[in-house]
Amino acid sequence: MPTRTTRSIRPLRAASLVAAAASVVLCTPSPVSAHSIAGNRIFPSTLAVDDPGVGDEANFEYGHQRVPGDDGDQSINTFSFEYDKLITSRLAVSVDGSYVVQNNPTARGFNNFGVGLKYLLYVNDAHELMTSIGVTAELGGTGSRAIADNFSTISPTVYVGKGMGDLPASLAYLRPIAITAEAAPALTTGAGQPNAFNYGFTVQYSLPYLQQHVHDAGLPLPLANLIPLVEIPLSRSQGQTTGTVNPGFIWINRYGQFGVEAQIPINHASGSHVGILVQAHVFFDDIAPTTIGKPLFQ
């Protein structure tokens, strides 16, 4: 359950590490599985808008984006990581952090570290519906002075996912579609610091779902495990909305996934060029379900 705000953009030299991790996780063909399941629906761990599930997992992301700064455009590269641990089958805690490299002005270092708590509130298998609630906190003063804020930000969050598998037979080819969303006020502890409202949604078309539950079109690997999607993460603060439109894809198998997205700014305040996100994600609850992927309390 990645902790994300629109100001945490994500990094350059880390691209090779992300690719290496992805190759280890994803190179072996296997049946598609995952932890975020409602009926026949698998909700993948998306890159910019958090999915509605909980699980034992690790997430690594590299991002590059150019945004407006006080002295012109800033180029920002970020390497982000997160580890989630199940306390029970429905409750997970998380820790996350990111290393940022930027120019104009030149600065590098860790952003503030974050912690989170997420609870799987409701699952309806017949309607492929999943809802979770949680809270994340970016801990002020835990990162580099050159990069991080000295105040904390707390975000109570609602997560929702809905698959279209309950559509009638006449609309069978729309059943692979799923929509997920999250919404969270970002409440700062700093005097005079503005609060924000972060929200976003994704639209996905699952080729694994098409193959397994609609029509076996005989798609070969790796195409059969592909989920094309568009994510739209947004933030509203001080009367200004910023965000991006992120078309891309996720390649998923039983043990993890690999994702790539473009980041297209919705306005000049959101960025001046198209950015990129790259993700490698590991499902410990599928890799080692009786050891490190096991909930602390059954």
In a domain, 183, yes or no: yes
Burial 254-284 (b: 16+ CB within 10 A, else e): bbbbbbbbebbbeeeebbbeebbbbbbbbbb
**Which phi and psi (to 5°) does residue 208 adopt?**
-60, -40
Distance of CA 97 to the CA centre of its chain: 14
Say how many domains are in the chain. 1
pLDDT tens for each residue of 129-182 = 999 999 999 999 999 999 999 999 999 999 999 999 999 999 999 999 999 999
pLDDT of residue 70: 67
Residue at 144 is within a domain:
yes
pLDDT for 1: 55
Looking at residue 155, its pLDDT comes to 98
CA distance 46 to 270: 20
Widest CA span in the chain = 59
Residue 52 lies in a domain: yes
- Asked if residue 7 belongs to a domain, the reply is no
pLDDT digits (tens, 9 = 90+) for 219-243: 998 899 999 999 999 999 999 999 9
Please report whether residue 240 resides in a domain.
Answer: yes
The CATH number that applies at residue 58 is 2.40.160.40
Q: Is residue 297 part of a domain?
A: no
Nearest C-alpha neighbor of 111 from the set 86, 71, 147: 147
Confirm whether 166 is domain-assigned.
yes
Boundaries of domain holding 270: 15-287
Phi and psi angles of residue 285, each rounded to the nearest 5 degrees, phi first: -70, -15
Has residue 1 been placed in a domain? no
**0.85 surpassed by pTM:** yes
User: Which residue positions in the chain have pLDDT lower than 50?
Assistant: 2-33
